[in-house]
Amino acid sequence: MFMHAGFGMLETGCCRAKNASNVLMKNLVNVCVGTLGWWSLGWAFAYGAEAQTNGFIGASGFFGIGFYTQDETTGNITPVQCTADGCQSTMLSWFFQWAFCTAGATIVSGGVAERVKSPTYAAYAFVMSAFIYPVIVAWTWGYGWLSTVFDVGFMDFAGSGVVHLTGGVSALAGTAVLGPRKGRFENPEEFEAHNLPLVVFGTFALWFGWYGFNPGSTLGMSSGTTGALAAQVAMNTTISAATGGIFVFLIRAFITKKYDVGGLCNGILAGLVSITAGCGNMECGCAFATGLVGALVYQGASTLLVKLKIDDPVDASPVHGFCGIWGVLAASFFDWGKGLNYYHGWSGWSCMAANGSCRSNMGGTAIAANIVMILMIIVWAGLLSGVTFFLLKRTRMLRIDEDTEAMGIDMRSHSPPKAYALTTAPADGVGAKEHSPTKAYQAPETTV
Which is higher by pLDDT, 391 or 78?
A: 391
Q: Residue 26: is its pLDDT beyond 50? A: yes
Identify the band that residue 88 occupies on the pLDDT scale cut at 50, 70 and 90: confident
pLDDT digits (tens, 9 = 90+) for 138-154: 999 999 999 999 999 99
Count of CB atoms situated within 10 Å of the CB of 258:
15
pLDDT at position 84:
57
Nearest CA to 3 among 164, 213, 281, 197? Answer: 213
How far lies 179's CA from each of 117, 194, 221, 338, 386, in Å? 14, 21, 46, 48, 12
- Report the distance separating Cα 392 and Cα 116, nearest Å: 11
pTM of the complete model: 0.92
Domain 3-218+226-419: CATH superfamily is Ammonium transporter AmtB like domains (1.10.3430.10)
pLDDT digits (tens, 9 = 90+) for 177-202: 999 999 999 999 999 999 999 999 99
Helix or strand run (H / E) with residue 86: strand 86-88
pLDDT at position 445:
56
Dihedral of the alpha carbons of 348, 93, 47, 147, in degrees to the nearest 10: -10
Identify the band that residue 72 occupies on the pLDDT scale cut at 50, 70 and 90: confident
Mean pLDDT of 327-338: 94
The structural domains of the chain, with segments of one domain joined by +, span 3-218+226-419
